[in-house]
Structure 1
């Protein structure tokens, strides 16, 4: 009888130490910062297989956060990655980087543009800021 009582106390104590909470949402592990545009955001994961996603496997190691615009825990936002040439931390914005089998920052893309396929070169030409000119219209110099 004594043994049975001791076992009960031991079992209760051991189970009392276990936390039976539901899985918690991943907490931010750091802050992502794009070294080109300055975008900053807390990220919860860096890699190719984000937690709490069933069948998501990214093509590159990415900085990822939970999508704050939806209650669905499986929805994520990809913030950015590292340039595969220079290692710069860049966001996925079209002004900062391009993914073509690997992530490339725009400065590296422009520096090595001839090494990319013609379609990519044409896409990069479209991204260059085009200066608008207004023929026959004088600029107002008043302040």
Structure 2
């Protein structure tokens, strides 16, 4: 017989770009135990391990709307602009994005080049 904890686990999310892995308990737009939350995209979600409140959750990531690869919500891996896009797809289709998005991406690129040690271990 499965334990209660195992019954809640749906699988393991893995980011195609950075390799972040985490068990997820839900995939979709309406996480369980939430009152009126509807996410803007189909997302991989886990219960927030830092609180006993079962209404709290963390969004791990989603699928890129162009290449369908799983990517985390980290700014080094993806961007949400109406839909989720991985950075490689954004770079391939940069001219299709509004000027403000392109400018923000340029700022992030220049910031990451000037602060490499800060971004090297951003997930720990």
Report matched runs for 1:8-87 at 5 Å: 27-87=8-68
The number of residue pairs the alignment matches comes to: 109
CA RMSD of aligned residues (A): 1.5
Following TM superposition, where does structure 1 have runs of at least 4 consecutive aligned residues deviating by more than 2 angstroms?
129-132
Give ranges in structure 1 of 5+ residues lacking alignment: 1-23, 133-143
| Greater relative CO, 1 or 2 (CA 8 Å, sep 6+) | 2
Give ranges in structure 2 of 5+ residues lacking alignment: 116-124
Which TM-score applies when normalising by structure 1?
0.73
* Structure-2 residue corresponding to 1:10: none
Structure with the largest fraction of strand: 2
Change (3 A) 1:131 1:70: closer
Instruction: Give 1 or 2 for the bigger CA radius of gyration.
Output: 1
Which TM-score applies when normalising by structure 2?
0.83
* Structure-2 residue corresponding to 1:130: 113
Deviation, structure 1 residue 131: 5.1
